[in-house]
Each structure stands twice: as C-alpha cells, then as structure tokens.
Structure 1
C-alpha cells in the first residue's frame, strides 16, 4: 500500500505542477490580450469619441467618415496601431496553443535575424517617432534556428518595453554579432537598481523607478520573455550602466545607459 500511496502522491504532484504552470501561462495570456484589447479600444475612441458611442449605426459610420476626412493622419495612425495590436494578439494565441495544446510543439527553422527584427520593428515605427527616438542597426545579419512565432512574442515584448522605458530623443542601437551569435539592444532607459537585477524575471515584479514613472505593468513581460527564450535554446543578459555614468534625470525619473543581450546557443 505504501508503494501505491507513493505513486499516487507523485502523480498528484505532477498534476499540480502542470496545473500551476498552465494557470500561470493562462494568466499571462489573458493579461497580454486584455492589455492589447484596451489599446485597441483607445484607438477606436480616438476615431469615434466616447460621447458618440450611443449613436446608431448610420450615425457612427457618418461620424467616422467625417473624422477620416478631417484627420487623415490620425485615422491612419489609429488603423496602424490596431493592426499592430491584432498581430501581437494573434502571436500570443498561437504561442499559447503551441505550448499548451494537445500536441505541444515548436516549429524550429532557420531565420535571417536582421529580417525578423526589421519585420517586427516596423510595427513600432510610429511609437518611436513620437518619442523622437531613432533606431540604428549595426553589424551583419546571420541565420539563427528558432521558432518564429515564440521569438516574435519575445521581440515584441522587448520593443514594447523599449518604447515604454526609453529616454526621449536618444537613439537606440541594435547590434547584430555573428561571432557571439547575439543581438544587443543598447539604449538610455529607466535606471535599473540592484534589487531589479535580482528580480527582473520574477513574475509580478516591477522596478522601483518604473513604478515612480507610473510605467509599471503587472510584471509578466520579462518573465514571459525568459521562458520563451529558454524553449528556443537562447539566453538573455541585462547590463546596466556599464560605465557607471551619472544618471540623466528627466521629468523626475532617472535614466542610465543599459543593454539587453539576447544570445543563441544553436
């Protein structure tokens, strides 16, 4: 009986661990989808103000047409951002289904790293433009083996964080290094503390300066990035204020020059 009890306990432990991981991943998926959907709603309200939501269908269409004629640039930006968010949601669902569907699998293939980065970076052009941040890409491209959709989510999170935390009017340098099989994001971003370094990949953690700047989320992004990199046989390193320069204070928030390095083992 002790043997069967032990086996039963082990099975229950395994089931509980699987359930815990699934619940955690479901929570992350819901958080990201809800966040992206909220952004889409904001974009719709930019085209059709909240005050006009109560109008009937024909009146809403007329209002949208009038807004498009009078504000073509703003209308195009709203459509662009909704498209970007919808693509991100598609990738989130796809990655979740691949990892937690009935037959979990990755589609690992060879990809040109520079082309992948450019295809995702294109979706953030307007966001960086609004902060007057230019993106410089240095180094020669090279091929890397990874699952495209999960790495798309990784780079989307990193670029989304870059938009949120980078210092205005300071360029971001993306360096491709064939020798080290790596890609580095070099930017002035919100200061990273000793405590942040130790907990930055913990789910639910947000940095002190991010909270001070009122730019903290639910602390899921970097935790998710780390997990998705692990399954692609890749790693991440964060190098903060490498030269120990004095922080730049902008709007009462401290910024330093920080690096995020993604390296591939394949």
Structure 2
C-alpha cells in the first residue's frame, strides 16, 4: 500500500492518507527517495519519497517490498501523483460538491419552510405578544384566536402543511441519501394516503378555486408509507403551482393484473413534447413554468421518480391528452396526466 500526502500550491492539504504522527517525517524528509529502517508511526521498514515545489508538496510512503527495493519505480509513481495534482484537486471539489449538495438543499429548504411558519404565526399573533410574560401570552393569544377564528384555523392548517413539508425534507434525505435506507412496506389504502395530503393542501386549492375530485377506490398497495408520502407531497404541491385556477383535478385509479396506476389529470401549464422526460430530470424546469415565474429548483419530479423506483413504480407524463388547450390571460394550459404505475407480481398481490 502507498500512503500519500499532497498539498496545494498555497500549502493547504489536498489529500492525505497518513496519520498526524507522520508530520515530522514529512517536513524533515529530503527531496528524492530513501528508506527508513524503523518508522516511528508504523514501526516497520518503509520507503519514503518527496517532491517539493515552493509550497506545493507531494510525499509518499510505502511498505510494499518491491517498492522498498526499487527507488526508481517509487520515484516514478511519486512523479505521477505530483503531475496529477490539478486533476486530484478538481476531483476532490467535484466529490465534495456532490456530497454536500443534498445537505445544502436540506438546510436551505428547512430554513425556507421554517421562515414561512414563523411568518404565518406572526400574521395571526404579533411577535411582541410572544415576548410578554407567560400569563399575558396565554390571555392575548386566546383573545386573538377568538377574535378571528377563521384566520386562526387557516394559520394552523398552513403551519401543519409546513410541518409536513419539513417531514418530507427529512424523509427525502433519509431515504435517498443514506447508504442503506430502511424501507418498511406494508399494505396501505392508496386513496386514504392521498387524502391525508390533500387535506394539508386544502387552503392552497381553495385560494385558487381548484376542485379536486378523487375517484372511489378501496385497493391497498404494498408500499413504504413514509417515502410515498414524500412522492405524493411533491406531486400535489406541483399541482397547486401549475394547475389552472378555477379548474378541476381528477385523481383516478386503475387496477390491472400486473400493474396498478394512479392518474393525476389536470388542466395545467403547457408541457412541450420534448419536455415530458426532461421535467423528470434534476435541475430542469418546464419552459412555460419559467416564463410564468413558477419554476422551482427543478428537483420535485426528479425526487418523485427516485422514490417511486424504491417502491417498484415509475412516473410518466402524458401531455395534451385531449387537445382542448385553454388560455388564461394569454397563458397556455392543456390537459396533462401525471401517471404513477406500480409493478405488481404474484408474490405480493399489492393491489387487492
């Protein structure tokens, strides 16, 4: 095994597999290659080699017998590491960015959701009320709620929605970014699962005069409830953003021998033919959504599809299904279907 210690041109450590106890050896080693009969850190015979250019340093250390015997081969390997410094630096940055992206996204989204909750709370209860002593707080909050019960109910529903959104964010992180995510599939009434989320979004649909019609269905799906809660959350959230105000969203079910499908049929922003697959990709938002300033961060449907794959399902988009496009203030809408298809085999009989 070859251990390496490589710094950038500014002297900061770029890559290292050596313990801190090797620091003195690294700093005192001369350029070139030499053997050490008894290494202080590893307590064995090793060969070391070092190349230093200004503040940039490349150091390697090995206990491999062939490399201890051949100074030339070891120095050649060290020279390769030195030449690859820029590529190693680029790879490191790319790996860090890929690794940190989910964490950054989680922090950003949770911060944003929390800000909405605080804003909703302060719209009902002034901030200064919450700085009073406990008894005054209770009395004043009670008075404010009794004075505007409808607004209080709406506020609590919005906060409940925000809490559900936070749960969604944690679930996404847990299910998609853990090395070994734990799924707990059980039989769940699919219509009830969807209704649990529709109730949360009721104020959003009401504000836009959107009616949601859910077909009767008593089938149960063998799914992981937590992850499917996330998938349905994103689908319904997208519907609140992109469906035409004053329209109807139809949710229907189809139970066939080897598949169970759920259709979300809505009059929503136009989806170009070449966008049906693109909108399922990360960081892509539909062109019409961008024009209307309604594009999000482009991860909603991408996450939905990844979660569905965990539940042996997939999302497909059927655009302009009946050709009766509508316009609202010049905005193009068309009938689109977002269809979830669950694969069913004889072993689980998921939809029954």
1:170 equivalent among 247, 256, 268: 247
Superposition deviation, residue 146 in structure 1: 1.5
Partners of 2:262 and 2:179 lie apart in 1 by 33
1:142 equivalent in alignment to 2:226: no
Q: Quick check: which one's strand share is greater?
A: 2
8 Å CA contact 1:28, 1:220 repeated in 2: no
Q: Deviation string for 1:179-216 (max 9, x for gaps)?
A: 24010000101111134324202222222211222211
SS in 2 for 1:119: helix
1:67 equivalent among 144, 159, 171: 144
With over 3 angstroms needed to count, the CA separation of the structure-2 counterparts of 1:54 and 1:70, relative to structure 1, is: closer
Number of aligned residue pairs: 257
SS in 2 for 1:181: strand
- Listed as ranges, the gaps of 5+ residues in structure 1 are 6-11
With over 3 angstroms needed to count, the CA separation of the structure-2 counterparts of 1:23 and 1:82, relative to structure 1, is: same
Counterpart of 1:118 in structure 2 is 195
SS in 2 for 1:73: helix
8 Å CA contact 1:141, 1:178 repeated in 2: no
Q: Deviation string for 1:16-41 (max 9, x for gaps)?
A: 99866643433443343234223213
Counterpart of 1:258 in structure 2 is 336
Partners of 1:114 and 1:103 lie apart in 2 by 29
1:88 equivalent among 165, 173, 195: 165
Counterpart of 1:25 in structure 2 is 102
Moved more, 28-37 or 172-181: 28-37
SS in 1 for 2:200: helix
Superposition deviation, residue 139 in structure 1: 4.8
Q: Quick check: which one's helix share is greater?
A: 1
Partners of 1:254 and 1:219 lie apart in 2 by 20
8 Å CA contact 1:172, 1:186 repeated in 2: yes
Counterpart of 2:279 in structure 1 is 200
Looking at CA atoms only, which structure, 1 or 2, has the larger radius of gyration? 2
SS in 1 for 2:201: helix
Q: Deviation string for 1:198-251 (max 9, x for gaps)?
A: 420222222221122221111111111111111111101111111222x32213
2:231 equivalent among 132, 154, 172: 154
Partners of 2:111 and 2:131 lie apart in 1 by 26
8 Å CA contact 2:317, 2:338 repeated in 1: yes
With over 3 angstroms needed to count, the CA separation of the structure-2 counterparts of 1:216 and 1:196, relative to structure 1, is: same
2:290 equivalent among 211, 228, 234: 211
How high is the TM-score relative to the length of structure 2? 0.64
Partners of 1:238 and 1:183 lie apart in 2 by 12
SS in 1 for 2:294: coil
| Superposed CA RMSD | 3.1
Partners of 1:53 and 1:102 lie apart in 2 by 45
User: Which structure exhibits the higher relative contact order, with contacts defined as CA atoms closer than 8 Å and separated by 6 or more residues?
Assistant: 1
Counterpart of 1:42 in structure 2 is 119
With over 3 angstroms needed to count, the CA separation of the structure-2 counterparts of 1:55 and 1:146, relative to structure 1, is: closer
Counterpart of 2:307 in structure 1 is 228
Counterpart of 1:9 in structure 2 is none
1:186 equivalent in alignment to 2:265: yes
8 Å CA contact 2:176, 2:307 repeated in 1: no
8 Å CA contact 2:277, 2:317 repeated in 1: no
Partners of 1:21 and 1:263 lie apart in 2 by 30
